[in-house]
């Protein structure tokens, strides 16, 4: 299937949101209602968290979810926020090889996304924590070609897990970034790098929009903006906080018989209306 409009124009709009020093801030969503809430809060685009999405589907994070289930969930998110750009975290591409990554990207476009994150970290234990640079570059090139065949200028965000996996510092990260950009990536995502000096060096050394991952304890958005960051993601942290609320509320109800943790929640009608409009 070839999709051109409105995804083509939506993809161009999404690209334009990546401005160094005026970053795109993404409170990541994991299901249709969290996506609708994020949009209602004012987010100009929606990005999924692969961890939050996997948990919502009853699977653990880390390349344990199959492509069909993951992209069916992403399609429901895109449908819930029609007209808003959606970028999907597709982990390692839900595939063993580059051809499989291309299949995933084509299916993601059909699901309605205009951006993807593809990570170079490996899961499952044993071996090296990151894919070899050449292998990951081949996977990114396959993603770029697949998006091109669909005639959608997909934003390919190459995630580098050097800091997240303690597998290298600034130098190795810059080497990987250069290879991934040459293969067709549009942006570079370096989760785990929040130290201002480190982020400044990454921004200076990467000729593309730089994405950082934030959460409790990280510098404020304004500080990252001053460093030239172009995209800021919350990752799984909002989903983690939401599930922590479930635990607090459940424990309080079961142990104390009280309901204080539920104060400040959405009114039923207000939350229901977000999806009624979808």
pLDDT > 70: percent of the chain: 97
In CATH, 7-238 is 3.20.20.60: yes
The torsion angle over the Cα atoms of residues 106, 118, 148 and 9, rounded to 10 degrees, is 90
pLDDT of amino acid 4:
45
pTM of the model: 0.95
Contacting residues for 221 by C-beta, under 8 A, at least 6 apart: 23, 25, 214, 232
User: Within a 10 A sphere around the Cβ of 97, how many other Cβ atoms?
Assistant: 13
pLDDT digits (tens, 9 = 90+) for 60-91: 999 899 999 999 999 999 999 999 999 999 99
Dump pLDDT digits (tens) for 137-191. 999 999 999 999 999 999 999 999 999 999 999 999 999 999 999 999 999 999 9
Domain residue ranges in the chain = 7-238
* Cβ–Cβ under 8 Å, residues 61 and 235: no
- Read off the pLDDT of residues 197-210 as tens digits, 9 standing for 90 and up: 999 999 999 999 99
């Amino acid at each position: 299937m070839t999709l051109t409009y409105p995804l083509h124009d939506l993809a161009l709009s999404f690209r334009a949101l990546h401005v160094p020093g005026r970053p795109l801030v993404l409170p990541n969503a994991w299901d249709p209602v969290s996506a609708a809430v994020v949009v209602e809060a004012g987010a100009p685009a929606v990005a999924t968290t692969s961890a939050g999405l996997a948990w919502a589907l009853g699977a653990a994070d880390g390349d344990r979810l199959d492509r069909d289930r993951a992209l069916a969930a992403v399609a429901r998110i895109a449908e819930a926020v029609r007209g808003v750009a959606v970028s999907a975290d597709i982990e390692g591409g839900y595939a063993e090889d580059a051809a499989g990554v291309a299949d995933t990207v084509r299916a993601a476009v059909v699901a309605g996304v205009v951006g993807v994150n593809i990570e170079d970290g490996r899961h499952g234990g044993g071996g090296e924590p990151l894919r070899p640079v050449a292998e990951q570059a081949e996977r990114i090139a396959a993603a770029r070609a697949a998006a091109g065949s669909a005639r959608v200028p997909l934003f390919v965000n190459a995630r580098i897990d050097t800091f997240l996996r303690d597998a290298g510092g600034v130098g190795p990260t810059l080497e990987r970034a250069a290879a991934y950009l040459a293969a067709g990536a549009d942006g570079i995502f370096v989760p785990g790098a929040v130290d201002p000096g480190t982020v400044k060096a990454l921004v200076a050394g990467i000729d593309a929009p730089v994405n950082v991952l934030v959460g409790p304890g990280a510098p404020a958005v304004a500080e990252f903006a001053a460093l030239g960051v172009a995209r800021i993601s919350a990752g799984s942290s909002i989903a983690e906080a939401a599930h922590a609320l479930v635990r607090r509320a459940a424990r309080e109800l079961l142990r104390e018989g009280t309901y204080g943790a539920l104060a400040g929640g959405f009114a039923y009608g207000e939350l229901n209306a977000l999806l009624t409009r979808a």
